[in-house]
Structure 1
Amino acid sequence: MKFRYLFIFIAGLSFSACQNTVTSDSVEVESIFPKGQEGAAENFTGKAYHFGLVAPDTTYSTLAGNVYFEAGARSNWHRHPAGQILIITDGVGYHQIEGEPIQIMRKGDVVKCPPHVKHWHGASADTALQQLYIVPNIEKGIVEWLEPVSDSVYQSIK
């Protein structure tokens, strides 16, 4: 059921012309793809936008897209049955696997989120974040959304 709704969401994305620079209230980041559609408020704190690149299908069994997080925006805790790969294309952001310290992500970083592992990711407090995501082996499932990341967890970056 989740797969069908995600496919409908991705299939309905508008492939409009891309702006080269996306601005946040503080620091500009370069945009490779259009900003896309705003993510569901129940899955994100702040503003995050999704633009689908590879729709789920049985040939590639992979889902890929771009997420633009405004400064301070972040995903809820979540997990992927087959894992997830993030490629940071601009900006500064945070990633955390449950029980581990928050990691800082910057342009050029590649982050692997292991299968079934609870984690979150998003922009830093003062800089937007542009990331590509790849979800492999979608026949195992795509994502299980969990609770929001609290402000105290988000602000615990050291």
Structure 2
Amino acid sequence: MSEINTDNFFGQGEDNTAYAKYFVGQSYLNILNTEGVFIANVTFEPGCRNNWHIHQASEGGGQILLCTSGCGWYQEWEKPARALKPGDVVHIPADVKHWHGATKDGWFSHLSVEIPGEDKSNEWLEPVSDEDYGSLD
């Protein structure tokens, strides 16, 4: 593990090796609950973001982000990016293309809550371009 983010209430967790190919930069994963509703603390080093992706489901599904520390970004396809700070809540319905991650110069953590649903899967897509990410203030 590299540098530890000490401002992380739910613990930084381990290197997110299982999903590393879907991230630009280093992220960390601390799984908090697997019974009933899956909840994980995801921590992004400065400049880290995940690829565009879609949480698919035939019924229900999607994701909720509960922002816990640092500052980050959330963006839906063809919409402006939204700045995130501790206390922000993002509801992501199933079948919405989006990405989320840290700002260029700061750590960011959120709880990722998987909304129960039928026939759920994640479709990982292209990385967020350096140009698009770099234009965010």
Q: Which has the higher contact order (CA 8 A, sep 6+)?
A: 2
- From the two aligned structures, give the one with the greater strand fraction: 2
5 Å matches for 1:59-74? 60=36, 62-74=37-49
1:102 aligned onto 2:81: yes
> Secondary structure at the residue paired with 1:41?
helix
* Unaligned stretches of 5+ residues in structure 1: 1-21, 24-28
Aligned to 1:77: 52
5 Å matches for 1:1-150? 22-23=4-5, 30-39=7-16, 40-55=19-34, 57=35, 60=36, 62-81=37-56, 82-150=61-129
Question: Displacement, 1:34?
Answer: 2.6
Question: Displacement, 1:79?
Answer: 1.1
Moved over 2 A (4+): none
**In structure 1, distance between residues paired with 2:77 and 2:93:** 12
Identical amino acids, percent of aligned pairs: 40
What is the alpha-carbon root mean square deviation over aligned residues? Answer: 1.5
Question: Displacement, 1:156?
Answer: 2.4
Aligned to 1:19: none
Instruction: Report how many aligned residue pairs link the two structures.
Output: 128
Return the TM-score normalized by structure 2. 0.86
**In structure 2, distance between residues paired with 1:45 and 1:102:** 17
Question: Displacement, 1:140?
Answer: 2.8
Return the TM-score normalized by structure 1. 0.75
Question: Displacement, 1:71?
Answer: 0.7
**In structure 2, distance between residues paired with 1:121 and 1:88:** 11
Flag the structure with larger Rg: 1
> Secondary structure at the residue paired with 1:30?
coil
